[in-house]
Structure 1
Amino acid sequence: MTADTAQEFYGRWERLYDLIARRTPGIPALRRRGALACRLEPGDTVVEMGCGTGANLPYLREQVGPDGTVVGIDFTGPVLERARTHTAEYDNVHVVRGDATQPPIGFDADTMDGRADIDAILATFVVGMLADPPGAVDDWCELVGPDGHVVLANAALSDEWYALPVNAVFRAVVVLSTPPTTKLRYEGQPHRRLDEKIAGAHSRLRERSSAVADETHVFGVVRLTGGRLE
């Protein structure tokens, strides 16, 4: 998926995407768990890569409190406008347009100048859209530095005993969400490519971390990996 195609796709469907992101059974609990896995303390700074319509940002703000800083980064204009609307009540939540692989961070989130210390990075349902997920994880680890945390949450094929019907639904969702959605056939299998990207990203985070927490959620479809960096 090219950046232009992804921006057009998510820009066109941002209302439906927002509804799915907030109302799908099990997903709000997952988002709260992802925020907890960042191991934040009041006053910390956390960055979400690919924040979408901002569904995670209130949970992150709960963790850092009014004295902390939350920065959400995404590259799709209409999606970001919805994120700004959802977080307008918080003066310490900042939504910035940018690429998760070349994030416009290293600034002070209040003055947009200088450098900010980043305590954690969260990325949910993002690495499958990147050309080089392990490379992106390396970059995020460098931004956070030793003793910081990086947390990934992504959908992949389930390994549970009841996986057959769950994976059938998962494959259908992946195909329908792979632009252009009007195609009946794709070269290769989109869900397999997605699985490979996610496995590579989560494996790289484990390699870079001194402490790792691995969990599965939503019928075994969602993988959550949190790592404290060495």
Structure 2
Amino acid sequence: MADDHTDVQEFFSARAADWDSRFPDDDPAYAAGVAELGLRHGDVVLDAGCGTGRALPPLRSAVGPAGTVIGADVTPAMLAAARRAGRDGSGSLLLADVAALPLRSGSLDAVFAAGLIAHLPQPGENLREVARVVRPGGRLALFHPIGRAALAARHGRRITEDDLRAEPNLRALLDGSGWRMTAYTDEDHRFLALAVRQNKDVDDALGGNREQ
């Protein structure tokens, strides 16, 4: 694992055991966010930074038994919590760093990422790595079950202009990372940015193959 993720691992390791009980009403929001990806039966989808795996059951329902669902997280304790909740029955769990995904280039149809972007040590590089493993025209959902203002208030903060998830900042970040933003929603009850993997020739810049 990358050293940059040490703080993330420590933060989530300390909270993994009671994470779901702290946010017991989030499952419908996850299901609604997954629905926005427009997945089809048979698709291959990654839940990047899957945590306790709350998105895995709706992802499995969306792609059906012929599809492939992978949940990747850098924190072993969160993956252990996902297993205790039985969510490994909906997808394969993978201990992996989004900075270096052990997946083949262009092997995925879509990526769902809940709460991930705030924890990326190098957002541009990390989103380029996510783009590497998605086929051209594939889709990305950056999701959170509450919006930016509500999340900031939860942590006793205020939103600033340099917030990475502000629409102009996020659009520019995605544009420079192999993605094109297609939708943006920031409401009290959810945050959701949708993007499509660009078709232009960016593969050389995004790197080579890594096998799962």
| Fold equivalence (TM over 0.5) | yes
1:196 counterpart (136, 141, 163): 163
Higher strand residue share: 2
CA, structure 1 residues 3+215, in 2 after alignment: closer, same or farther (shift >3 Å)? same
| Structure 1 match to 2:193 | 225
Equivalent runs, 1:1-230 vs 2, <5 Å: 2-21=4-23, 23-24=24-25, 27-87=26-86, 90=89, 93-106=91-104, 117-154=107-144, 157-158=148-149, 166=150, 170-171=151-152, 173-174=154-155, 192=160, 196-199=163-166, 200-205=169-174, 208-209=178-179, 212-217=182-187, 219=188, 222-230=190-198
Q: TM-score, normalised by structure 2?
A: 0.76
Identity %: 24
Q: Give 2:62's aligned amino acid.
A: Q
Q: Give 2:154's aligned amino acid.
A: V
> Within 1, Cα distance between the matches of 2:74 and 2:16?
13
CA, structure 1 residues 70+7, in 2 after alignment: closer, same or farther (shift >3 Å)? same
> Is contact 1:49-1:74 (8 Å) kept?
yes
After superposition, give the CA deviation of every residue in 1:107-145 in whole Å (9 maximum; x if it has no partner): xxxxxxxx7821001111011011222332222122213
Q: TM-score, normalised by structure 1?
A: 0.71
> Within 2, Cα distance between the matches of 1:129 and 1:209?
19
Q: CA deviation at 1:202?
A: 4.8
> Within 2, Cα distance between the matches of 1:119 and 1:153?
17
Higher helix residue share: 1
> Within 2, Cα distance between the matches of 1:8 and 1:39?
34
Q: CA deviation at 1:172?
A: 5.1
> Is contact 2:139-2:197 (8 Å) kept?
yes
Unpaired segments ≥5 residues, structure 2: 199-212
After superposition, give the CA deviation of every residue in 1:15-59 in whole Å (9 maximum; x if it has no partner): 2222234x13xx323211221122211111100110000111101
After superposition, give the CA deviation of every residue in 1:54-107 in whole Å (9 maximum; x if it has no partner): 1111010010111111000011111101112334573x610010112222222x
| Structure 1 match to 2:206 | none
Q: CA deviation at 1:148?
A: 0.5
- Root-mean-square deviation over aligned CA pairs: 2.9
> Within 2, Cα distance between the matches of 1:16 and 1:87?
15
> Is contact 1:152-1:202 (8 Å) kept?
no
> Is contact 2:5-2:121 (8 Å) kept?
no
